[in-house]
């Protein structure tokens, strides 16, 4: 299965390595193909530069230490071709998840909750954790 991860998932997995999101991320690494877009990586670096500048090396090490598919977010796209999203700044994430042919979009962002779309399925880390915790 192809799982697209949003910025908040990457950041949470790095900052809280013993947390639920990190456990989900580790499961994904073992069982599925993780997809991370250029837009997501740029957002991660932006957040770390602003909020955690002393830990930017951990972000570099994280990306170097995992296997994932790197997806180039298109620089230009027609927003009318994609589902409407509450926060327009999240549209590149949704566009990347769709165009990368992901089966699941994993995000903790509540702005994705009301999106009506068949593929990818949109899960929060808590929802996904419930799925894997039952196994």
Structural domains for the chain: 2-133 (3.40.50.1010)
Mean pLDDT of 11-21: 93
Q: Which residues sit opposite 92 in a β-bridge?
A: none
The pLDDT, as a whole number, for residue 134 is 60
The pLDDT value recorded for residue 98 is 94
Termini Cα distance of the chain:
17
Residues near 37 by Cβ (< 8 Å), separated by ≥ 6?
Answer: 4, 70, 71, 72, 73, 92, 93, 96, 97, 100
| Residues 72-100 as b or e (16 or more Cβ within 10 Å = b) | ebeeeeeeeebeebeeeebbbbbbbbbbb
Whether the full predicted model's pTM is greater than 0.85, yes or no, is yes
Which residues are CB-contacts of 43 (< 8 A; sequence separation ≥ 6)? 7
Tens-place pLDDT, residues 26-78: 999 999 999 999 999 999 999 999 999 999 999 999 999 999 999 999 998 88
Look-up of token digits 């090490």? 61
Of 93, 85, 132, 79, residue with least CA distance to 5: 93
Examine the pLDDT at 133 and tell me if it is beyond 70: no
Distance CA(123)–CA(119), nearest Å, equals 11
Burial (CB < 10 A; 0-12, 13-18, 19+), residue 57, is exposed
The three-state secondary structure class of 36 is: strand
Residue 84 near residue 36, CB atoms below 8 Å? no
Residue labelled with tokens 């989900």: 24
């Amino acid at each position: 299965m192809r799982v697209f991860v949003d910025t908040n998932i990457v950041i949470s997995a790095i900052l809280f390595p013993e947390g639920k999101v990190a456990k989900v991320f580790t499961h994904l690494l073992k069982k599925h193909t993780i997809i991370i877009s250029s837009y997501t990586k740029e957002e991660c670096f932006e957040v770390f530069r602003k909020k955690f500048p002393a830990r930017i090396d951990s972000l570099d090490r994280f990306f170097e230490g995992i296997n994932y598919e790197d997806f180039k977010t298109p620089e230009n796209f027609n927003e009318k071709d994609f589902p409407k999203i509450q926060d327009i700044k999240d549209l590149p994430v949704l566009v990347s998840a769709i165009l990368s042919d992901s089966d699941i979009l994993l995000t903790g962002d509540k702005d994705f909750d009301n999106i009506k779309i068949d593929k990818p399925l949109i899960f929060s880390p808590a929802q996904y954790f419930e799925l894997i915790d039952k196994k």
